[in-house]
Amino acid sequence: MSQTVRLVCPSGRKHAELWSGYLLAALGAVAIVMDPAHWANITLGLLLVLLGVGLAVHGHLIKAPVLEISDGEFHYRRGAYEVSVPFGDIGSYYLLPGGVRSLGLCDTAGRPKRFPSLRSRRTSRTYLPLTGMTSPAKVESFMAMAGIPPRKRSLAS
């Protein structure tokens, strides 16, 4: 695979914090402008602006998961956590449904691949967490563009 295929998972919490922060900062500015001579409006306005700026900064710090295939490797990044798997070692994939969707990769023999834990725990996991807003159709099209087939869910076959 010579070209890069990339999917950034949308994060609802990030969008909510950003828009809430911007809205609170704007409300604080409006409170100050409405009556700048009264100390209560200035205090309320400054508190709203500070709270809004804090929320917006925290929203910008949230890192969404990124799936990428380039240079013959599959990369998964979420903040400081990064997993790289050679493209030839991936046989298929599967999606785990739920509130927070997850992506599982299988080796060429069909066994789930194991990844180290995200939070430096001693356990390992067989899936990579995505976000709840990630559409299964987008993940399926990403994997199809990368050339990785889905694993059949039937245990009988």
Domain residue limits, the chain: 10-61, 64-146
What is the average pLDDT value for the chain, to the nearest integer?
Answer: 85
For the stretch 84-94, pLDDT in tens is 888 888 888 99
From CA 60, how far away is CA 53, in angstroms rounded?
Answer: 11
State percent of the chain over pLDDT 70: 91
Reported pTM: 0.73
Please check the confidence at residue 123 and state whether its pLDDT lies above 80: no
Phi then psi for 23, rounded to 5 degrees? -65, -45
Reply yes or no on domain 64-146 having CATH 2.30.29. Answer: yes
What lies within 8 Å, CB to CB, of 134 at 6+ separation is 9, 10, 65, 101
For the stretch 146-156, pLDDT in tens is 888 888 743 33
